[in-house]
Copies of this chain bind each other. A is one copy, B any other.
Amino acid sequence: MKVSIVGAYNTKFGSFVKRDRETGTVEDQKSFYELLIEAGAGAIADAGLEAKDIDAIWVGACSPSLFLNQEHVGPLALEIDPEGLLFKPTTRTEGACATSSLAIYNAAYAVASGRFKNVLALGVEKMSLLDTPGVTHALACCSYWPTEGAGGMTFPGLFAELGTAYQEKHNISDDQLRTMLAHVSALNYKNGIQNPLAHFGPGSLPDRNQLVTAEAILNLPDSGKGSNPMIAPPLRLHDCSLITDGAAAVVLTSSENAKVGFKHAVELSGVGHVTERMMLKERQGRLHELQATQHAVNLACTEAGVVVGDLDFAEVHDCFTINELLCAEAIGLSLPGQAGYDMMAGKFNPEGDCPINLSGGLKAKGHPVGATGASMHALAYKQLTGAPIGIAAKGSPEVAMTVNIGGSGVTNCVSVLRRIQ
């Protein structure tokens, strides 16, 4: 039995805290709890349903215990509508930055089993209550702690290893890679600045409007105010995604039910869910490509009966700019080693055959880790049903792909989404 998305909602992404630099106090201006409720209620309303019509709920959140001392976040979804949702089953999923794709997949399997009719799958993360070292620690817990996190390895460092391996494999110089990655950032900034929900959205910061070309990014100084310092070679500040608060949700039902009871439906036509070994040291010799992601792409495309040429757009996991290039190659949009050149040639721009990250991606839209997968699905749903948020895909898009990745290429979730109504 196939399952479809019939409603979606994405909150504004941003850093919803007020920090007093003198006292060190942090005022929460939009809480984890508020984000979760807004996204859930929004998706239910978008589907034209009431809370009582929802039979079960999956909540993805990556590390709410470290971010705000809250585990057991599934039951919090009852607060979307305590009367309508009382006693409904809730499950939390976690899979690092692929957390809420797992919520969607588990929700979809449960619908496909026939146990539930309409279900809600959401993702939420509130990251900004912690300072940068705190966030870095929380995220490092998504690596293999004994030999990676505990050894001081952070995610910029892990993805830097992928970057270096990519350079070596394809004989790309530091300068060449820097230029390629600047093109990735620039494209995401340029797209994001038109997405009203993006963290770096329209009017977010006046001088960010300058960063919509690779040239502008390459001209930034290495240090000082407004600089682009090296974080973990070859990755610089503007290669890293954002520390963001946000939530997103989708309502799922069987495709059969979707066709008779809902205005719009986007089918989860293919799912590829593939796990890679976590420790980078176990993957030596294959760090220059996302093998597991590629396998997930193949599974999703085979199930959906599509080829890469059928994709009208893709939302991919640019937690670091290098990963956007690796995703483009894993999807098959670029040949191995060619994604950077294709990016520089404008292949993935909005006017291309398969634009990437029309939303601005994790780099500009923001990356509230537990919400990212749900956000990819929610915004793709909106694009496919004629209500794009931000830049519209050209024509009348019908098929899209989301590539959501947890950890250093470890939890790979690839969806092929097809408008069926």
Q: Return A396 CB to nearest CB of chain B, in Å.
A: 31
Question: Chain B residues with Cβ under 8 A from A72's Cβ?
Answer: 94-96, 141-143, 278, 406-407, 410-411
In the complex, the answer to whether A65 meets B141 with C-beta atoms within 8 Å is yes
Q: Which of A83-91, A164-172, A222-230 sits within the interface?
A: A83-91
A275 at the interface (CB under 8 A from B): yes
In the complex, the answer to whether B277 meets A78 with C-beta atoms within 8 Å is yes
In the complex, the answer to whether B95 meets A149 with C-beta atoms within 8 Å is no
In the complex, the answer to whether B95 meets A146 with C-beta atoms within 8 Å is no
Closest to A97 in B: B72
Question: Chain B residues with Cβ under 8 A from A75's Cβ?
Answer: 95, 275-278, 406-407, 410-411
Q: Which of A13-21, A110-118, A329-337 sits within the interface?
A: A110-118
A214 at the interface (CB under 8 A from B): no
Interface size class of chain A, counting residues whose CB lies under 8 Å from the partner chain = 35 or more
A70 at the interface (CB under 8 A from B): yes
Q: Return A187 CB to nearest CB of chain B, in Å.
A: 29
Closest to A410 in B: B75
A178 at the interface (CB under 8 A from B): no
Q: Return A351 CB to nearest CB of chain B, in Å.
A: 35
Residues of A78-108 at the interface with B, using a CB-CB cut-off of 8 Å, are 78-79, 82, 85-96, 102, 105-106
In the complex, the answer to whether A145 meets B69 with C-beta atoms within 8 Å is yes
Contact among B86, B95, B282, B410 for A91, CB-based, below 8 A: B95
Question: Chain B residues with Cβ under 8 A from A295's Cβ?
Answer: 87
Could you give 23 example pairs across A and B, Cβ below 8 Å?
Answer: A1-B114, A65-B65, A69-B149, A71-B138, A72-B96, A72-B143, A72-B278, A74-B94, A74-B411, A75-B406, A75-B410, A78-B275, A85-B275, A86-B277, A90-B275, A90-B411, A91-B95, A91-B106, A92-B94, A92-B95, A92-B102, A109-B109, A109-B110
The 9 closest A-B pairs by CB, nearest first: A112-B113, A89-B273, A109-B110, A72-B142, A72-B96, A113-B113, A71-B141, A92-B94, A109-B113
Give the B-binding residues of A (Cβ under 8 A).
1, 31, 33, 56, 62-63, 65-66, 68-76, 78-79, 82, 85-96, 102, 105-106, 109-110, 112-115, 137-138, 140-146, 149-150, 273-278, 282, 292, 295, 406-407, 410-411
Given A72-B141, A78-B277, 11 more contacts at CB 8 Å? A65-B141, A69-B149, A74-B275, A74-B411, A75-B411, A86-B277, A87-B276, A88-B274, A89-B274, A93-B93, A109-B109
